[in-house]
Structure 1
Amino acid sequence: MRIVTIFIVAMLVMVSCSRRAPAPDPVAPASGDAVREVLMGELVTYPKFGDADPHPWDGRRPQSYPIHGIDVSRWQGDIDWHTARAAGVSFAYMKATEGGDLHDPKFDDHRRGARAAGVPWGAYHYYYFCRPAEEQARWFIRHVPRDAMALPHVLDMEWTPYSKTCTLRPDGDTIRREASKFLAMLEAHYGRRPIVYTTVDFFRETGIGRLHGTEFWLRSVAGHPRTVYPGAYWTLWQYTGTGLVPGIKGKVDINVFRGSPEAWVRWSRGI
Structure 2
Amino acid sequence: MRHLTKIVLGLMLVFAVACSRTPPGGGRGNAVYVGGTVPQLGDSRPHEWRNGHPYNHHVHGIDISRWQGEIDWGRVRGAGISFAFIKATEGGDHSDPSFQRYWREAAAARVPRGAYHYYYFCRTGAEQARWFIRNVPRERGSLPPVLDLEWTDSKTCPRRPGPAEVKREANAFLDIVGRHYGQRPIIYTTVDFYRENRLGDMRAEFWLRSVADHPRMTYPGQRWAFWQYTGTGTVPGIQGDVDLNAFAGSSSDWARWLSTRLTR
Q: TM-score, normalised by structure 2?
A: 0.84
Match of 2:143 in 1: 151
Matched, 1:203 2:181: no
Structure 1 residue aligned with 2:185, among 172, 179, 194?
A: 194
Are the counterparts in 2 of residues 48 and 63 from structure 1 also a CA contact under 8 Å? no
Q: Cα deviations across residues 54-102 of structure 1 (Å, max 9, x unaligned)? A: 0000021000100000000000011100100000110000000000010
SS of 2:101 mapped into structure 1: helix
CA distance in 1, matches of 2:210, 2:258: 22
Match of 2:7 in 1: none
Q: Which amino acid aligns with 2:78?
A: A
Are the counterparts in 2 of residues 62 and 239 from structure 1 also a CA contact under 8 Å? yes
Match of 1:70 in 2: 62
Matched, 1:178 2:178: no
Match of 1:257 in 2: 247
Match of 2:94 in 1: 102
Match of 1:30 in 2: none
Are the counterparts in 2 of residues 149 and 269 from structure 1 also a CA contact under 8 Å? no
Runs of at least 5 residues in structure 2 that lack an aligned partner in the other structure: 1-36
Q: Which amino acid aligns with 1:250?
A: G
Match of 2:230 in 1: 240
Are the counterparts in 1 of residues 40 and 236 from structure 2 also a CA contact under 8 Å? no
Are the counterparts in 2 of residues 175 and 208 from structure 1 also a CA contact under 8 Å? no
Q: Cα deviations across residues 191-218 of structure 1 (Å, max 9, x unaligned)? A: 0111000000000000112112x10000
Shift of 1:48: 3.3
CA distance in 1, matches of 2:173, 2:258: 21
Matched, 1:215 2:205: yes
Matched, 1:164 2:155: yes
Q: Which amino acid aligns with 1:232?
A: Q
CA distance in 2, matches of 1:194, 1:138: 14
Q: Which amino acid aligns with 2:77?
A: R
Misfit runs of 4+, over 6 Å: none
Are the counterparts in 2 of residues 72 and 252 from structure 1 also a CA contact under 8 Å? yes
Runs of at least 5 residues in structure 1 that lack an aligned partner in the other structure: 1-44
CA distance in 1, matches of 2:174, 2:256: 21
Q: Which entry has the higher C-alpha Rg, 1 or 2?
A: 1
